[in-house]
Amino acid sequence: MTFDPFADFETRGYLRNHDGEKDLDIVRRLEHVAFVTGLDEAFAQLTKRKYLEYSDVLSTHRILFDAVYPWAGQDRKQVAPDIAVSKGDVLFSHPDDIRSAVDVALKNGQDKAFMAAKPGEVMGYLAYGHPFLDGNGRTIIVIHSVLAQRAGFSIDWSKTDKTDYLAALTEELDAPGEGILDRHLKPFTGEAIAYDKLAGAVVLAPGLDGKEDKENIVLGKTSEPEVKARYQQQKIKRGGK
């Protein structure tokens, strides 16, 4: 089933992309070209920011995907505030909770000691927030790479395995704060690389071309009793986090 939160795929293409394209293989190629092309600018803008805020996450997404989507840089709260988004067994945060989840990640990620000790937990909160309808993984890896570099280390994403990483991330989303993703990332953590090398390091991360990914799905309206119950179950499972 094609992810169609706007309910206009047939008339406006996948997620209202600028070209009105319906072929997801073509859309993924367009996204990847835009991502790779925008990386240097995205990192350049982030280096100018002494303290990263939620607006910087939005700006990073806009830089990376503005060539593909007219809503680039706008989060789910802005463009699809009444739908629940999931992928596989993962239910992402309620639109009303996106910013609070990302703000937790940014607060902890800019505590150098916390970030150095728990980079997986920071990544987990960024991923749980899932701010955008598409392009989340690529946007948050850019943000996370800057946070890590400022904390004095870098993750060698080229050595990670996509399947293993996503499995650990899924567990992290269910049980934040238990160190699941921290332990997974530890073997790939090393000395910080220079800012001007970050873009080159990020593009080596497996799976960022979007191919063979599970598609997001619209679970339903956030107002539906069944969906409300899922969010409540999720909150309990995450220990209220």
> How far is it, in rounded angstroms, from Cα 185 to Cα 126?
15
* Cα distance between residue 73 and residue 65, in whole Å: 8
Residue spans of the domains in the chain: they are 9-237
User: Which tens digit of pLDDT belongs to each residue from 32-42?
Assistant: 999 999 999 99
81-128 pLDDT, tens digit per residue, is 999 999 988 999 999 999 999 999 999 999 999 999 999 999 999 999
Q: Which two tokens stand for residue 132?
A: 């955008």
Q: How confident is the model at residue 206 (pLDDT cuts 50, 70, 90)?
A: confident
Q: Give the residue carrying structure tokens 């390091």.
A: 201
Check whether domain 9-237 has CATH 1.10.3290.10, yes or no = yes
**12-37 pLDDT tens trace:** 999 999 999 999 999 999 999 999 99
CB 117 within 8 A of CB 181: no
Mean pLDDT of 56-64: 98
**Percent of the residues in the chain that have a pLDDT greater than 90, as a whole number:** 90
- pLDDT given for residue 165 in this prediction: 94
CA angle, corner 126, sides to 125 and 127, nearest 5?
90
Q: Choose among 193, 155, 209, 196: nearest CA to 46.
A: 196
Closest by Cα among 163, 230, 223, 151 to 192: 151
Q: What is the pTM of this model?
A: 0.96
Reading the block at residue 155, the tokens are 């993750």
